[in-house]
Structures are given as C-alpha cells and as structure tokens.
Structure 1
Amino acid sequence: MTDLVEQQTAGPPPEAARRITRGLWSPVAASLVALVLTPVAVGIAANGAVLAGRWWDGVDRWLAPAQSVLGAMLLLVVASLAVYVPAAAMIAGAVWGIVPGVVHIAAPDDSYRMLSAVPGLPVDLVRALHSWLSGGVVLLFGVLLFGAGLTAALLRRRLAPDGRS
C-alpha cells in the first residue's frame, strides 16, 4: 500500500520531467536560428557560385570556394538542428526553399522583380539568387531541409519508448 502512495507522490518520471523543462523555448529558438541561417547560407553559397565564374582574378579564385564551403557548412548546421527540433529544419526548408521555388514556378516573370525589391541585396547577389531560383537549386535545398526534418521527426517518433516524440 505504501508503495502505491510513494509512486503517486513521487512525481513524473524523468523522461516526462525533461520534456516539461524543455518547454517551448528550445523549439522556438532552434526555429529562429534555422530561419536566420538558411537565407544567409544560401546567399553566401550563391555568391560563391557567381564568383566561381570569375576565376581569372587571384582574389576571387579562393574566395569562391571558401564561400561555397561556408554556405554548405551553415546549411549543415540547419539540417543538424533537425536532430533536436525537427520542425526547425522543416520550417526553414519550407520558408526559404519550397515556397520561393513554387512561387517561381507559378510566376517566373515576377521572381526577379520580387528578389530585387528586397532591401539591402546587392545586384550581383540578386542575380545569383535568381539564377539559383530559376535553376531549381533553392527548391532543392528547401526539399532537402524539409526532408531532413521530416526524417528526424519520423525516426524520433519511431524510436520513442512510448510511441510519442
């Protein structure tokens, strides 16, 4: 009888306590980090791709691959966030890849105008992003990030002891 009383008053099991303390801040913070890092990564990598076309200049010869690698590493960070918060990678992939890709497919003539209307983007970067957008690279990144988040969510749900994540 005392065992039953002790079990009822002992509180939630450690797994449930960890879920409660994690709260809302972790998913929100991870999603914000993913939403900020993704366009930065795509912009840096796209700019590196444009610079790769100007390899006759000694400065651009090393700057282009460095920017491509940096952009790829930042996208890897966003994809890695899916391990902790699958929704972060899914949201970033949808907002910065899938939606712009679908918008470009639906209105290809307006996509350059929409990109050039973004304040603070240099003309070279607008051209680079538009070439990636029209070439499907942005859509590809979005689908891959969304897929990484979806895969992490499904694996987490499958591996959870009680069937929930």
Structure 2
Amino acid sequence: MTDRLERSVISERPGSPRRQQRRRAVLASFFALLLTPVAIGIAANGAVLAGRWWDAADRWLAPAQSVLGALLLSVVAGSAIYVPAAALTAGLVWGIVPAIVQIAAPASTYRLISAVPGLPAELSRVLHSWLSSGVILLFGVLLCGIGAVALLRKRYAG
C-alpha cells in the first residue's frame, strides 16, 4: 500500500511523465477547441463564396477555403493520435452540443449565431444552415468518433 502511495507521489512531482501528459492533454484540447471553429468558419465562408461563381476571384477562393477548412479539421482529428481528449472535446463543444441546442431550441439558434460580433450576415446564414441541416452535428460526431477510437486503441493496444 505505501509503495503505491510513494509511486503516486513521485509521479506527481513537477516534470514527471504523468504531469507532462496532463499538460500536453490540456494544451492539445485548448488548441483543438480554438482550431475547430476557425476551420468550420473558413469552410463555411468557402460555401458563401461558392454562391458567387460569376466573380473570377471568388471562383478559386471558395474551393481553396473549403480545402483549408478541411485540412484544419484534419489537424484536429490528427491530434487524437497523441491526445484523444482533444478531438473528443472539440467534437462535443463545437458539434454535438450546438446540435442539441438546435434540436431543443431551433428558433433561438439563428439569433445566437448572428449575435457573434464581427460575423457577416451571409456567414451567419450559412452556419445556421449547416447547423439546422446536420453538417455541424456530422463534424462533431466524426471528431468524437475519432477521439473515442484513438482512446480505445491507446488503452487496449498497450
């Protein structure tokens, strides 16, 4: 019993592997929480620009933004290799919880989205459209699934 207590005290010292793992998990989760809405916003802005095909500048900017948003989401998903909680947290906060709010109070979600300062009206409409059509839920479920698979793989693979 005392041996186990001594090991847990030793493992909690500054610079210990367990403390470094916790710090890495917190930083990766924070990074994923910041990067996910940016990625969704960039991809949604690409969808806004896709409606303006008559402008030659927007013709290439729209798919470029969609690809950039997808790449940033893949970085969040890839962070699950090292810290599964990062993808799980981002999927819950930016995908599943907003979808639950949309299901519970569909009339207020557009008001909440359009209240974000600095968000153009077109982007608000696209984000609300994605939320009400299930695209945001899809992002959240995929990120949570990736995080859960990575967590199970880590736990059972050794």
TM-score above 0.5, yes or no: yes
State the alpha-carbon separation in 2 of the partners of residues 159 and 23 from structure 1: 18
Give distance in 2, aligned partners of 1:23 and 1:141: 26
Q: Percent identity?
A: 65
Q: What CA distance in whole angstroms lies between the structure 2 residues aligned with 1:93 and 1:20?
A: 25
Please name the residue that 2:103 is paired with. Answer: 105
Q: In the alignment, which residue of structure 2 is the partner of 1:5?
A: none
Tell me by how many angstroms 1:21 deviates.
Answer: 5.6
Deviation at 1:18, TM superposition (A): 7.4
Q: Which runs of 5+ in 1 are unaligned?
A: 1-11, 161-165
One of 133, 146, 154 as aligned partner of 1:135 = 133
Q: What is the identity, as a one-letter code, of the residue corresponding to 1:158? A: Y
TM-score (norm 2): 0.87
Q: Larger radius of gyration, structure 1 or 2?
A: 1
CA distance in 2 between counterparts of 1:100 and 1:106 reads: 10
Opposite residue 81 of structure 1, the aligned amino acid is S
Name the SS for the 2:71 alignment partner: helix
The Cα shift of 1:65 comes to 0.1
Q: Which residue of 1 aligns with 2:93?
A: 95
Distance 2:88 2:96 in 1: 10
Q: Which amino acid aligns with 2:116?
A: V
Q: Which amino acid aligns with 2:60?
A: W
Aligned equivalents of 1:19, 1:152: Cα separation in 2: 20
Q: Aligned equivalents of 2:19 and 2:107: distance in 1?
A: 49
Q: Counterpart of 2:32?
A: 34
Query: How far apart are the structure 1 equivalents of 2:31 and 2:19?
Result: 20
| Distance in 1 of aligned mates of 2:27 and 2:94 | 17
Corresponding residue for residue 20 of structure 1? 18
Aligned partner of 1:119 among 117, 120, 127: 117
CA distance in 2, matches of 1:21, 1:91: 20
Match of residue 55 from structure 2: 57
CA distance in 2, matches of 1:20, 1:117: 41
**Cα displacement string for residues 16-46 of structure 1 (whole angstroms, at most 9, x for unaligned residues):** x973362421001100110000000000001
Give the Cα–Cα distance (whole angstroms) in 1 for the partners of residues 147 and 41 of structure 2: 21
**Alignment length, in residue pairs?**
145
Quote the Cα distance in structure 2 between the aligned partners of 1:44 and 1:137.
Answer: 14
Measured in 1, the distance between the counterparts of 2:91 and 2:22 equals 21
Cα separation, partners in 2 of 1:111 and 1:46, compared to 1, 3 Å: same
Structure 2, unmatched stretches of 5+, are: 1-9
Deviation >6 Å, runs of 4+: none
Structure 1 length as normaliser, TM-score? 0.84
- 1:87-140, CA deviations, whole angstroms, 9 ceiling, x for partnerless residues? 010000000000001111111111100101112212121111111111110000
